[in-house]
A = this chain, B = another copy of it.
Amino acid sequence: MTLRDADRDFADALRARLPRLDLRPAEGAILEEPRGRFHGRGGLVARPRESGEVAAIIAAAAQARVGVVPYGGGTGLVGGQVKPDAPAPLILSLERMNRIRRVCPLENVLIAEAGVILDDLRAAAAAAQRLFPLSLASGGSARLGGILSTNAGGVNVLRYGNARDLCLGLEAVLPDGRVWNGLSRLRKDNTGYDLRGLLIGAEGTLGVITAATLKLAPIPSGQGTALLVVASPEAALDLLGLARERLGEGVSAFELIHRQSLAFLAETLPDLRQPIAPPPEWSVLVDLGLAAGHDPQLALEDLFAAAQARGLVSDGVIARSEAQRAGLWALREAIPEANRRIGSISSHDISLPLGAVAGFIAAAPARIGRPGAYRINCFGHLGDGNLHYNVFPPPGHVRAEYDSRREEIMHAVHDLVHEMGGSISAEHGIGRLKVRELERYGDPVRLDAMRAIKAALDPMGIMNPGAVLR
């Protein structure tokens, strides 16, 4: 099915339907994505204010056969929000649908529109003495619609799950322009297929999420954070096992950090205080959230002692104040920014079965190149088996010199991940960056089922064309 440009004729048709719609030519930042790998080529930007407008826009796009690219905070790292090729799309920015519609503290539920920024969601939950647990480095700009559409993860998946796990219901506009009113506040509802779960993670290719019912959690009574030096990734995983044995769900986050992360931080963000010198080869950031009557600092001290007795940890710092906690987390959350400043050749958002993580970290460098050919920054959500495995030029070189090697490096990493039963996209999604990688590694039966579902729900292919599936 051939799509058409979102041109002046289409703009006129949209204005005829929706005279008050904020509709403009697409230009500037909305055509770029954070890593600069995709550049949009014009088209239109619509900024609807409510779901009825979204429905009318999608219906018009379906009638005119114009592609629609839903746009949240623009923080996606796989190009899901930027269509670089012709025909030019209508970019549907949800930024003006930014209302918190309802907070039900008794039910641990919050209903918000797709354009709400993550930090604002968390603040609204906190104002009701509740926690919205999803936490990302890009929380100041990522918006709910994009978070759900990419099934975002972040640092608290270990305890609270990813975006799909935190969503009870959706309001969405399907590709025929009809609104599905699925803003359920129910914890259990077995009345047919899980359309909610299907739209979450579909990256806007099956419809546009306009609002969602989210799960909140009680705020843990006491929170504690430590940065612990471990001997190896194996030791880190044993420490995780020990921590969960002793503290159960009290372990909220468990992040692996390699010395390369700390070196990049020192180089690009020298004002960030690094608490352990010299920088250890491997360390983990452990975050606890405990119920009333339990002291997280004491729990971390006990954990450290038990782990030290088993030879798992050798050094570390336990935050003694909220400011120290924030300082440890600031280190972790600044790693992506440091990476951006250095400039990776190829970044990999991979996951592995927990039992394969250490083997992967040991085997991967040799698959990529000779020793010293690259700098590797391996960090991430170890508790979920999710590593950000990013490859950088050696000192004195820049990524542009390695353009011709990028694909080879990526395939070396992804081949190994695939052999070990892992995923080539743990939390960032497929977008446009990994469409061919999905074809290369994805199960063909599942891919055919995905194509059949796409064709069934979006027969004209107007929704985020080129993302996820070709």
* CB pair A192 B446 closer than 8 Å: yes
Q: Which residue of B lies closest to A292 (CB)?
A: B246
Nearest first, the 9 closest Cβ-Cβ pairs linking A and B are A456-B456, A197-B197, A189-B423, A185-B353, A249-B249, A452-B456, A248-B291, A188-B426, A187-B384
> A330-360, CB under 8 A of B: which get 1 and which 0?
0000000000000000000001111100000
Instruction: Pick the most buried of A188, A290, A455: most chain B CB atoms within 10 A of its CB.
Output: A188
> A181-206, CB under 8 A of B: which get 1 and which 0?
11011111111111101101110001
* CB pair B351 A445 closer than 8 Å: no
Q: Which residues of B lie under 8 Å from residue A191 when comparing CB positions?
A: 423-425, 430, 434, 438, 441-442
Q: A178-B445, A195-B450, A446-B195 are in contact. Are A150 and B107 (CB under 8 A)?
A: no
Q: How far is the CA of A249 from the CA of B133 in the complex (A)?
A: 14
Q: How far is the CA of A290 from the CA of B237 in the complex (A)?
A: 22
- The number of times this chain is found in the oligomer is 2
* CB pair B186 A426 closer than 8 Å: yes
* CB pair B445 A385 closer than 8 Å: no
State the A residues within 8 Å of B (CB): 104, 106-109, 150-151, 153, 157-158, 161-162, 164-165, 174, 178-182, 184-195, 197-198, 200-202, 206, 218, 220, 237, 241, 244-250, 289-294, 351-355, 381, 383-386, 421-430, 434, 438, 441-443, 445-450, 452-457, 468-469
A107-B353, A195-B450 known, 8 other contacts, Cβ within 8 Å? A185-B355, A187-B384, A189-B426, A190-B429, A191-B423, A192-B201, A193-B202, A249-B249
Q: A218-B248, A445-B178, A457-B449 are in contact. Are A198 and B189 (CB under 8 A)?
A: no
* Closest beta carbon of chain B to A279's beta carbon, Å: 27
Q: Which residue of B lies closest to A191 (CB)?
A: B425
* CB pair B190 A150 closer than 8 Å: yes
Q: How far is the CA of A104 from the CA of B353 in the complex (A)?
A: 10
* CB pair B248 A190 closer than 8 Å: no
Q: Which residues of B lie under 8 Å from residue A162 when comparing CB positions?
A: 188
Q: How far is the CA of A164 from the CA of B200 in the complex (A)?
A: 15
Q: A218-B248, A250-B291, A457-B449 are in contact. Are A351 and B189 (CB under 8 A)?
A: yes
Q: How far is the CA of A188 from the CA of B160 in the complex (A)?
A: 13
Q: A291-B248, A353-B104 are in contact. Are A422 and B186 (CB under 8 A)?
A: yes
Q: Which residues of B lie under 8 Å from residue A293 when comparing CB positions?
A: 246
Q: Which residues of B lie under 8 Å from residue A202 when comparing CB positions?
A: 193
Q: Which residues of B lie under 8 Å from residue A428 when comparing CB positions?
A: 190
* CB pair A385 B186 closer than 8 Å: yes
Q: Which residues of B lie under 8 Å from residue A247 when comparing CB positions?
A: 291
* CB pair B194 A106 closer than 8 Å: no
Q: Which residues of B lie under 8 Å from residue A384 when comparing CB positions?
A: 187-188
* CB pair B195 A201 closer than 8 Å: no
Residue in B157, B187, B198, B455 whose CB lies within 8 Å of A385: B187
* CB pair B445 A186 closer than 8 Å: no
* CB pair B291 A246 closer than 8 Å: yes
* CB pair B187 A194 closer than 8 Å: no
* Closest beta carbon of chain B to A51's beta carbon, Å: 12
* CB pair A192 B107 closer than 8 Å: no
Q: Can you identify 14 A-B contacts, CB atoms within 8 angstroms?
A: A109-B353, A185-B355, A186-B422, A186-B426, A187-B351, A188-B351, A190-B423, A190-B428, A193-B201, A193-B468, A194-B197, A194-B200, A195-B450, A245-B292
* CB pair B186 A190 closer than 8 Å: no
Residue in B104, B180, B188, B426 whose CB lies within 8 Å of A381: B188
Q: Which residues of B lie under 8 Å from residue A452 when comparing CB positions?
A: 456-457
* CB pair A182 B446 closer than 8 Å: yes
Q: How far is the CA of A453 from the CA of B455 in the complex (A)?
A: 9
Q: How far is the CA of A456 from the CA of B206 in the complex (A)?
A: 14
* Closest beta carbon of chain B to A318's beta carbon, Å: 18
Q: Which residue of B lies closest to A163 (CB)?
A: B190
* CB pair A430 B192 closer than 8 Å: yes
* CB pair B198 A198 closer than 8 Å: yes
Residue in B186, B220, B245 whose CB lies within 8 Å of A351: B186
Instruction: Pick the most buried of A289, A445, A468: most chain B CB atoms within 10 A of its CB.
Output: A445
* CB pair B179 A445 closer than 8 Å: yes
* CB pair A190 B446 closer than 8 Å: no
